[in-house]
Amino acid sequence: MTLTNEPLNSNRDIIGRDDINDLEAILAISNTDIHASISAVKDNADAIFTWDYEKGSRPKLNRLYEKAKTAMWNGETDLPWDTVVDQEAVVMANAGGNIGPESGIDISGTPMAKWSEKEWIQFGVESQNWTLSQFMHGEQGALVCTAKIVETVPWIDAKYYASTQVMDEARHVEVFAKYLDTKLTGHYPVNAHLKMLLDDIIGDSRWDMTYLGMQIMVEGLALAAFGFIHQMTTEPLLKQLLRYVMSDEARHVAFGVLSLQEYYKELDSKELRERQEFAFEAAVRMRDRFLQQEVWDRMGIAPKVAVPLVLQAPERQVFQSMLFSKIVPNCKKLGLLDAADGWLRTKFQELGVIQFEDWADTGEEYEMFALAEGEVAASGSKTA
Ligand SMILES: [Fe+2]
Ligand SMILES: [Fe+2]
């Protein structure tokens, strides 16, 4: 199908700049609201009652709901919070992937060239504080978005499942906040690119857009990012925490895939194109947020000096594209890659992530991520 009569939105309309990689435009966006303790966003949606209470009329969602009921863990008692975390030692053990002295990237002539080991360790510490802070803020985004889905989705099986996800997300916010407060050394405010995305997701009046923005895009990326860090980290408490969170996240992404797969079958090409544009916007915002501009600010280095160097690190490029390893196959499964003349396929090519299209989608993968029988009880310290 072609869209000859539709005015097509440009990159500038969708993401506010013509060139996806315009670093100056990306870094010009920063959080100006860092001292406020709350932030209000209009959610623009009707709360929907359904009088059709037939449980299991969507069997896959019902199965997910039943699974979620028995998969709850307790963030206070099931994690070994008595683990002693030496953050500097963790930073030194995980030093790969940045532009530090061993990376082979030429930093001569930049302020970092004068850094001693002390500054590099401090940078690693800040970077970890930043990363976990952004995860925590993203988890709160998921908490709020999923509470909105309970209200707005018209299907009873989906309302039931979403209610369990609300509990999961509360637990995720709780454990990331506790890890930051008791094991790390400082918080960062929400990154401006992440906040723009969360605001757009919450602000959209259409119920499926919450799912697309949160379950497919933000949580699809989180699942990949948590998996990467889970594999890399040598710190046993964080490893365990991420393992538990991932077992929930895989269900959440499946919830998005299973719900939207049904709904998108009813949409026409123009409506699908709107979803594609939203998915593209979300992908760009999430890629922009990973530039860690606030960490460079805090280290006293202009982000426009440091970020281009970071982007040259080979591990960095692998990490950045791996973040899309769940999103791209899930978008394909939803029919979003090739709808509307393959518009999103072209955009994912521009972003350099289309190579993941045939990787496993997350519609069923949650079974693989599930905690094994006894895994929670066997691992926690039970000291709380
Ligand atoms: Fe979560
Ligand atoms: Fe989640």
Query: Which ligand places an atom closest to the C-alpha of 137?
Result: 1
Pair 236, 82: CB distance under 8 Å: no
| φ, ψ at 241 (rounded to 5°) | -60, -45
Closest by CA to 64, choosing from 325, 370, 331, 360, is 370
C-alpha 171 to ligand 1 mean position (Å): 8
CA of 226 to the centre of ligand 2 (A): 11
In-domain check, residue 49: no
CA of 345 to the centre of ligand 2 (A): 26
Kindly identify the ligand whose nearest atom is closest to the C-alpha of 220. 2
What confidence category does residue 335 fall into, taking pLDDT thresholds of 50, 70 and 90? very high
- List C-alpha distances in Å: 108 to 99, 114, 255, 286: 12, 9, 49, 30
Q: Is residue 166 part of a domain?
A: yes
CA of 307 to the centre of ligand 1 (A): 28
Asked whether residue 17 is domain-assigned, the answer is no
Domain count, the chain: 1
Burial 50-80 (b: 16+ CB within 10 A, else e): eeeeeeeebebbbebbebbeebebebeebbe
Q: Does residue 255 or residue 320 have the better pLDDT?
A: 255
Of all ligands present, the nearest one to the C-alpha of 251 is 2
> Using an 8 Å Cβ cutoff, are 353 and 324 in contact?
yes
Tell me the C-alpha distance between 234 and 215, whole Å: 28
CA–CA separation, 332 and 358 (whole Å): 8
Q: How far is the CA of 109 from the centre of ligand 2 (A)?
A: 43
Say how far apart CA 151 and CA 149 lie, in whole Å. 5
State the average pLDDT for the chain.
91
Task: State residue 143 phi and psi, 5-degree precision.
Answer: -60, -50
Question: Ligand 2 center to residue 255 CA distance, Å?
Answer: 10
What 3-state class would DSSP assign to 288? helix
pLDDT tens across 61-107, in order? 999 999 999 999 999 999 999 999 999 999 988 765 466 666 778 88
Looking at residues 129-148, what average pLDDT do you find? 98
Q: Is this structure's pTM higher than 0.75?
A: yes
CATH of the domain at 345: 1.10.620.20
How many whole angstroms from 270 Cα to the centroid of ligand 2? 29
Q: Per-residue pLDDT tens for 179-198?
A: 999 999 999 999 999 999 99
Please give the distance of CA 37 from its chain centroid, rounded to a whole number.
Answer: 22
In a domain, residue 52? The reply is: no
Structural domain contains residue 30: no
In a domain, residue 260? The reply is yes
Measuring CA to CA, which residue among 209, 213, 214, 225 is closest to residue 252?
214
pLDDT at position 50 over 80: yes
CA 236 – ligand 1 centroid, Å: 20
Domain assignment of residue 236, yes or no? yes
Ligand nearest to the CA of 226: 1
According to the model, what pLDDT value does residue 211 have? Answer: 97
Q: What residues make up the domain containing 236?
A: 62-71+101-372
In a domain, 148, yes or no: yes
Q: Which of 28-42, 95-109, 149-163, 313-327 has the highest mean pLDDT?
A: 149-163
pLDDT band at 382 (very low <50, low <70, confident <90, very high): very low
State the ligand closest to the CA atom of 138. Answer: 1
